[in-house]
């Protein structure tokens, strides 16, 4: 039976579809690997604020419940949209067990969870992979784990240059999770393969993006305020 997708989630994806599929010239590879139902964890690279939307448009037949940073809920209108889309707020950098427990419960119901294990937009830098995605996958027996590579999303903001988006779903080369594998090892294994085909990219427009990236690198900071990024 087809999964019932919340109306607000479906509406957001419908509105975003012309931008992502037409303007973005979207190519989707390997989406047949995504099961129609059952517990699923998607581990996705994070280079652009658009990544969660691009992934959602690419999937189409399933709802992706993303672990999104809790600061996005500070805006009441945005909080309403995120809640009605079924997204899960998580406190980054604090080991938010409540958010992970909520995600595990959704997995037990056979739903699909999207995780950005880098925790924030990369801004062209290599970031440490956090273990939450692996913890989720290992918590529910039979969970399907797929890597997801998104490339080209940083170009969406570079109007009038048209982006060329590509979303690739793949089964990790090392096989499905095993009981002998730690959460950290599982996350690192999948995300290393994701990043092998999607090097970190700088978001934003031209010189401003480069200058901001250089400033953040010199200051040793990586705070991102605009993307539904997970701390898992």
- CATH classification at residue 155: 3.40.1130.10
Query: Quick check: is 225 in a domain?
Result: no
Distances 104 to 115, 135, 153, 173, 201 between C-alpha atoms, Å: 12, 9, 29, 24, 31
Q: Enter the tokens of residue 201.
A: 């990219």
The span from the CA of 101 to the CA of 170, in Å, is 26
pLDDT at 214 over 80: no
List the helix and strand counts (H, then E) for the chain: 7, 7
Query: Quick check: is 2 in a domain?
Result: no
Query: Quick check: is 38 in a domain?
Result: yes
Q: How far is CA 193 from the centre of its chain?
A: 15
CB atoms within 10 A of CB 76: 8
Distances 230 to 17, 28, 167, 206 between C-alpha atoms, Å: 23, 23, 19, 26
Query: Quick check: is 212 in a domain?
Result: yes
What is the number of domains present in the chain? Answer: 1
pLDDT tens readout for residues 52-109: 999 999 998 899 999 988 889 999 999 999 999 999 998 876 668 899 999 999 999 9
List the domain range (segments joined by +) for residue 100.
7-219
Burial of 66 (0-12, 13-18, 19+ CB in 10 A): buried
* Confidence (pTM): 0.87
Q: What is the predicted pLDDT for the residue at 93?
A: 64
Q: What is the predicted pLDDT for the residue at 178?
A: 86
pLDDT tens readout for residues 144-203: 999 999 999 999 989 899 999 999 999 999 899 988 899 999 999 999 999 999 999 998
Query: Quick check: is 230 in a domain?
Result: no
């Amino acid at each position: 039976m087809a999964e019932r997708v919340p109306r607000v989630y479906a509406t957001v994806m419908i509105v975003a579809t012309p931008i992502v599929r037409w303007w973005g010239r979207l190519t989707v590879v390997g989406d047949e690997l995504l099961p129609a139902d059952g517990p699923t964890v998607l581990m996705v690279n994070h280079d652009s604020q658009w990544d969660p939307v691009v992934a959602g448009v690419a999937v189409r037949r399933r709802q992706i419940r993303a672990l999104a940073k809790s600061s996005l809920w500070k805006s009441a209108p945005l909080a309403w949209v995120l809640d009605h889309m079924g997204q899960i707020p998580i406190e980054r950098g604090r080991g938010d067990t409540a958010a992970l427990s909520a995600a595990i419960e959704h997995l037990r119901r056979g739903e699909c969870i999207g995780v950005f294990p880098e925790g924030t937009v990369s801004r062209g830098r290599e970031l440490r992979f956090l273990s939450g995605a692996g913890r989720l996958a290992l918590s529910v027996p039979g969970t399907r784990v797929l890597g997801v590579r998104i490339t080209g999303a940083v170009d969406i903001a570079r109007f009038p240059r048209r982006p060329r988006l590509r979303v690739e779903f793949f089964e990790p080369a090392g096989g499905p999770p095993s009981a002998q594998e730690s959460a950290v090892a599982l996350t690192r294994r999948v995300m290393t393969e994701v990043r092998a085909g999607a090097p970190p990219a700088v978001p934003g427009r031209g010189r401003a993006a480069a200058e901001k990236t250089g400033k953040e690198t010199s200051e040793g900071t990586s705070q991102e305020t605009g993307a539904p990024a997970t701390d898992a």
